[in-house]
A and B are shown apart, each in its own frame.
Chain A
Amino acid sequence: MNRFVIITAAGPDRPGIIARITQVLYRTGCNIEDTSMTLLRGEFSMILIVRLPQKQSLNEIKRRLKKVQTALGLSLLLKPLSANEARRDQQPLGRSFILSVYGADKPGIVYGVTRLMAAHGINITDMNTRVIGPRNEPVYIMILEMEIPKKVKVQTIKTKLNKLKKAVNVDITLHPAEPAQL
């Protein structure tokens, strides 16, 4: 049976972080599956789902990754996944929507929005936020992709977002994610 682990790592950005990690994975016979990696400010952050080889011990992989971790000053976490969690054909919980929220930076924007989604069983599948603009007038941008279950009325969510928009004084747009069918 296939065994999978999820590795999350982050550390000060420099050339070679991915190469050092994937060198260990390659040499121990691991197969890299889905990954997401990005540079946040000066910190390079990575998440990898990795399929383990049949015979390799997890401890040996951990031991070798530890060395890289120390050398590069990374934080690193390795967690086994169940076969179900590692399945590629995950069923979406609903229709995909994009929510854009932006406004003057202040505490509570992310919480205000995500609390509303959580209360309706809406699943956030991707999110990115940035602080932009001048130092004296920073603007917060938050874009997220989410799955709205069929039983939830989109109009209800829009109405509640409108209230939130006024309360938190941000601009909010919700629209269906329409992938270009090319």
Chain B
Amino acid sequence: MPVLKILQYPHPLLKSRSKQVQVIDDRIIRMIQNLLDTLAASPGVALAAPQIGESYRLIACDVSRKTKEPHHGRVILINPTIRQREGKRIFREGCLSVPDYTGNVNRSEKVWVEGLDPQGQRVNLISEGFEALALQHEIDHLDGVLFLDRIASLSTDLFRRRVY
């Protein structure tokens, strides 16, 4: 079971848009296994295929070891999209591909995500809180977007003056 190297910025794949998966063939199945093995060996809770060097729309997520909030356990999604969003929440995020830096990011509190499972069956998930954050972060990776592109504020935001 190969554990692959997690790419770090400035690797160009991390700023590229990944391709749709057209057919779930042996290659994609192997890719899913690599993604899961690499995730299991990492300190993170979710991983997107471009992070292991595969520019395909494929993510894996398992927040069970990091949160007590409700979640769906191990989630593997092919060609995932966010259908609907609700609520706002600021999370302090980090990323395995951007080591040693964290930032406050605006995310939706609740997301409706659609995609395919490894058997090619359509999956619809309603996810909230920490898992919803992880899914949004990973789906961003498929579009070449890093959390750095979504920083909501620096640490002093509590006191930031506003224009009305």
- Min CB distance B163 to A, Å, is 5
Judge whether B43 is part of the interface by a CB distance below 8 angstroms.
no
Q: Within 8 Å of chain A (Cβ to Cβ): is B8? A: yes
B148-A141 in contact (CB<8A): yes
Q: How far is the CB of A135 from chain B (nearest CB, A)?
A: 12
Asked if residues A92 and B9 are in contact (CB atoms below 8 Å), the reply is no
Interface residue B126 (Cβ < 8 Å from any Cβ of A): no
- Which range holds the interface residue count of chain A? 35 or more
CB-CB under 8 A from B99, the residues of chain A are: 132-133
B109 nearest CB neighbor, chain A only:
A180
Which chain B residues numbered 1 to 31 have a C-beta less than 8 Å away from chain A?
8-10, 15
Q: How far is the CA of A116 from the CA of B99 in the complex (A)?
A: 29
Query: A96 to B163, Cβ gap below 8 A?
Result: yes
Chain B residues near A126: list those with CB within 8 A.
Answer: 154, 156, 160
Q: Which residues of B contact A133 (CB under 8 A)?
A: 8-9, 99-100
Task: Decide yes or no: A34 and B100 within 8 Å by CB, A98-B151, A141-B148 being known contacts.
Answer: no
- Counting chain B residues whose Cβ lies within 8 A of the other chain, the interface size class is 20 to 34
On whether the beta carbons of A177 and B152 are closer than 8 Å, the reply is yes
Q: Which of B57-93 contact A (CB under 8 A)?
A: 88-90
Q: Could you tell me the distance between the alpha carbons of A90 and B160 in the complex, rounded to whole angstroms?
A: 11
User: What string of 1s and 0s marks CB contacts (under 8 Å) between B148-162 and chain A?
Assistant: 111111111101111
CB distance from A54 to the nearest CB of B (A): 27
- Which of A15-23, A55-63, A75-83, A100-108 forms part of the interface with chain B? A100-108
B98 at the interface (CB under 8 A from A): yes
Residue of B nearest to A126 (CB): B154
Q: Is the CB of A128 within 8 A of B154?
A: yes
Known contacts A98-B151, A143-B148, A178-B152; A132/B159 CB under 8 A: no
B106 CB–A CB distance under 8 Å = yes
A171 touching B15, Cβ below 8 Å: yes
B53 at interface, CB cutoff 8 A: no
Whether the Cβ atoms of B148 and A92 lie closer than 8 Å is no
A-chain residues with CB within 8 Å of residue B98 when the two chains form the complex: 132, 139, 141
Question: Given the complex, which residues of B lie within 8 Å of A147, measured CB to CB?
Answer: 163
Chain B residues contacting A139 (CB-CB under 8 Å) are 8-10, 98
* Complex partner residue of B101 from A36, A134, A141, A180, CB under 8 angstroms: A141
Q: List 19 A-B contacts (CB under 8 A).
A: A34-B159, A90-B161, A92-B163, A98-B151, A100-B149, A127-B154, A128-B155, A133-B99, A139-B9, A139-B10, A141-B148, A143-B103, A143-B151, A144-B154, A145-B153, A147-B163, A171-B146, A179-B153, A181-B88
What is the interface of chain A, defined by CB distance below 8 A to chain B?
Answer: 34, 36, 90, 92, 94-96, 98, 100, 102-104, 125-128, 130, 132-134, 137, 139, 141, 143-145, 147, 171, 173, 175, 177-182
